[in-house]
């Protein structure tokens, strides 16, 4: 991902203006109030201590700075949670799940303000259905030729359980946003 981002930065002519780093969860290796924005994409699901992460985000944000993220959250209904557990049992990743309400409260408890969440489940359920239809249909022969029948069958099982978890509402892609307090607050207009 870092290499790809570096190539994209070069193509955009901004490679000399940015620094790309991979950091481990825990205390971030940056000074207090270093950034105007902190962005996370689909990675907080793997972090157990989300409040500690959010404290670090708050620490490195400048006053008025924005935390913007997209992550996989869990639903609250039993049928969705059962589908999520089936997906987790066939996948190869470990997750530390939270609901949108839990994540929003953790952000507020950390000290961020104007916290908003936006559930993207309905959109992603449609995407999953289209992808699954492609994998089972027009792409099947190409995938089997590339990875073999056994790997294809295993991957298809994961894709089906993912689609089930999303359509049942157990796995919910969600956008999150909050701001570090400032004397002058940023616009409250919706940006997503």
For every one of its 192 residues, what pLDDT tens digit does the chain have, with 9 covering 90 and above? 889 989 999 999 999 998 888 888 789 999 999 999 999 999 899 899 999 999 999 999 999 999 999 999 999 888 888 999 999 889 777 788 899 999 999 999 999 999 999 999 999 999 999 999 999 999 999 999 999 999 999 999 999 999 999 999 999 999 999 999 986 544 444 444
Residue 77 belongs to a domain with what CATH number?
A: 3.40.50.150
* Of 73, 65, 74, the residue nearest 111 (C-alpha): 65
d(CA 1, CA 24): 15
Residues in the chain: 192
For position 189, what pLDDT does the model report? 40
For position 29, what pLDDT does the model report? 93
For position 192, what pLDDT does the model report? 41
For position 2, what pLDDT does the model report? 86
**3 falls within a domain:** no
Domain enclosing residue 66, as ranges:
31-119+169-179
**16 falls within a domain:** no
**11 falls within a domain:** no
d(CA 133, CA 160): 10
Full-model pTM: 0.82
Sheet arrangement for strand 35-41? 35-41, 61-74, 171-179, 113-119
* Tally of structural domains, the chain: 1
């Amino acid at each position: 991902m870092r290499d790809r981002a570096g190539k994209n930065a070069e193509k955009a002519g901004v490679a000399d203006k940015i620094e790309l780093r991979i950091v481990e969860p825990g205390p971030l290796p940056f000074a207090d109030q270093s950034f105007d924005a902190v962005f996370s994409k689909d990675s907080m699901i793997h972090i157990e201590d989300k409040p500690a992460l959010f404290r670090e985000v708050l620490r490195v944000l400048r006053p008025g700075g924005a935390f913007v993220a997209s992550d996989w959250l869990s639903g609250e209904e039993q049928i969705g949670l059962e589908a999520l557990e089936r997906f987790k049992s066939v996948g190869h990743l470990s997750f530390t799940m939270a609901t949108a309400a839990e994540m929003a409260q953790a952000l507020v408890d950390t000290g961020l303000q104007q916290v908003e969440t936006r559930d993207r489940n309905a959109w992603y359920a449609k995407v999953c259905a289209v992808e699954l239809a492609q994998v089972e249909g027009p792409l099947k022969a190409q995938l089997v030729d590339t990875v073999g029948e056994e790997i294809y069958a295993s991957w298809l099982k994961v894709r089906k359980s993912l689609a089930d978890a999303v359509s049942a509402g157990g796995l919910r892609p969600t956008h999150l946003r909050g701001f570090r307090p400032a004397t002058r607050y940023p616009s409250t207009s919706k940006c997503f």
